[in-house]
Homo-oligomer: A and B are copies of this chain.
Amino acid sequence: SKTYNIAVIPGDGIGKEVTPWAQKALEKAAEGVADFTYEHFDLGAERYLRDGAILPDDELERIKTTDAILLGAIGDPRIKAGILERGLLLKLRFSLDQYVNLRPSKLYQGVTSPLANPGDIDFVVVREGTEGLYCGAGGAVRRDTPAEVATEVSINTAYGVERVVRYAFELAMKRRRHITLVHKKNVLINAGDMWQRIVDKVGQEYPEVTCDYSHIDAATIYLVSDPSRFDVILTDNLFGDILTDEAGAVVGGVGYSASGCINASNEYPSMFEPIHGSAPDIAGQNKANPTAAILSAAMLLEHLGFDEAAQRIHKAVEADIAELGSTVRSTDEVGRDILARM
């Protein structure tokens, strides 16, 4: 049977503390089912400060040959905002054409939501991952003068939108068959109109799926006032970034939220990461919750087709949270507790 080669990129801050637990959970869940080898990549702030490298071409080429990627978190306060995020994290997402950024949100039993009446929260955000305002198009003239002008350009293509729309409809068919398109089409009329037209067109092939639409501003209200209305939220790169962080808060903290950056045509490896950041304020203190990272290992397993192995992780995480979700534990304690249940 095939051996899967996994690229491991712990990255920065708490990424270094939670990623080893994601790897251990992956290994344990797949025992007797799949064989993994791991290739570690020393990428992130330390590396950049040491030798100036962010994502060298030869390392990107090696990553491209792997079967999947486990990523921790990227970002460090010592380094100007954008350098690592764009040079490493977004460069991976774009170079590997990870056009589906899949972000499930679920309120686990045992977790306290900040909402007084959260209801039954269980939805998935399908965020486009390779277009929009994340392209890096834009610039500035007369920088640092009173006449400075800075632009950011959102580029959206029918090619890029249609493929992620199709993914969302396929996903909806496996769930409660409801899609909410989120955009701001009353202001961003060019991009918003294209998104809506493509959803309408593809939707004709899926008569069982009901679709509605919400402006991004209204969607942030619904996440607080009525989050259980959502099944599949389909949106662009920036709105997806915003909504999934708010969703993370609503389900009791981004510590439980995993994500997949998926190349659904499998030309390049997909990447799995917690949605939380590097959290410099608590880094190195054995405090970060590794649950989101461990859940990202489950998403990796699902992506490779090992649904039962993924279920082992999901079940262990659910049981752990139900029993000990409100107990203060260290990173290693949570990791050990979850592994012990698998």
Interface of A with B (CB < 8 Å)?
Answer: 75, 81-82, 85-86, 90, 112-117, 133-134, 138-140, 142-159, 162, 184-194, 197, 216-218, 220-221, 223-225, 238, 241-246, 248-250, 253-254, 277
Give the shortest distance, in Å, between A259 (CB) and chain B (any CB): 13
* A250 proximity list for chain B (CB < 8 A): 224
For A221, the chain B residues whose CB sits under 8 A away are 245-246, 248-249, 254
Tell me whether A187 and B134 are in contact in the complex, defined as CB-CB below 8 angstroms, given that A114-B224, A245-B220 are known contacts: yes
Known contacts A158-B146, A220-B246: A114-B187 contact under CB 8 Å: no
Check if B191 sits within 8 Å of A138, measured CB to CB: yes
Which chain B residues border A143 with CB–CB below 8 Å? 194
If the complex has contacts A185-B81, A216-B242, A245-B217, are A190 and B152 also in contact, measured as CB distance less than 8 A? Answer: yes
- Complex alpha-carbon distance, A242 and B217, angstroms: 4
Of A145, A151, A152, A188, most B-chain CB atoms within 10 Å: A152
- How many angstroms from the CA of A190 to the CA of B139 in the assembled complex? 6
Query: Please, which residues of chain B bring their CB within 8 A of the CB of A152?
Result: 133, 153-154, 156, 188, 190-191
Min C-beta distance of A143 to chain B, whole Å: 8
Q: Is the CB of B225 within 8 A of A75?
A: no
| Bound complex: CA A93 to CA B188 (Å) | 16
- Cα of A192 to Cα of B223 in the assembled complex, Å: 26
| Contact with A193, one of B142, B150, B217, B223 (Cβ below 8 angstroms) | B150
Q: A144-B197, A221-B249 are in contact. List 14 more A-B contacts (CB 8 A).
A: A81-B189, A86-B187, A114-B115, A114-B116, A134-B187, A138-B191, A140-B193, A149-B155, A149-B156, A152-B154, A216-B241, A218-B245, A220-B243, A225-B253
Residue of B at shortest CB range from A157? B149
Question: What is the bound-complex CA distance between A244 and B221, given in angstroms?
Answer: 9
List B contacts of A156 (CB < 8 A).
Answer: 149-152
Q: Could you tell me the distance between the alpha carbons of A186 and B82 in the complex, rounded to whole angstroms?
A: 4
Q: Is the CB of B144 within 8 A of A151?
A: no
Cα distance A238–B236 when bound, in Å?
14
A81 CB to nearest B CB, Å: 4
Residues of B within 8 A of A115 (CB): 114-116, 224
- Is B249's CB under 8 angstroms from A220's CB? yes
Contact of A187 among B82, B224, B243, B246 (CB under 8 A): B82
Q: Establish whether residues A151 and B82, one from each chain, have CB atoms under 8 Å apart when the complex forms.
A: no
- List 21 contacting pairs A-B, 8 Å CB cutoff, sorted by A: A81-B189, A82-B187, A82-B189, A112-B116, A114-B224, A116-B116, A133-B152, A138-B190, A138-B191, A140-B193, A144-B197, A146-B162, A149-B158, A150-B191, A151-B191, A152-B156, A218-B277, A220-B220, A220-B242, A221-B245, A221-B246
Which single member of B145, B158, B186 contacts A85 (CB below 8 Å)?
B186
Which residues of B have CB within 8 Å of A253? 225
Residue from the set A149, A155, A185 with the largest chain B CB neighbour count within 10 Å: A149
A114 to chain B: which residues have CB within 8 Å? 115-117, 224-225
In Å, the complex CA distance between A140 and B158 comes to 11
Assembly CA distance A277 to B249 (angstroms) = 26
Residues on B with beta carbons closer than 8 Å to the beta carbon of A242: 216-217, 220, 242
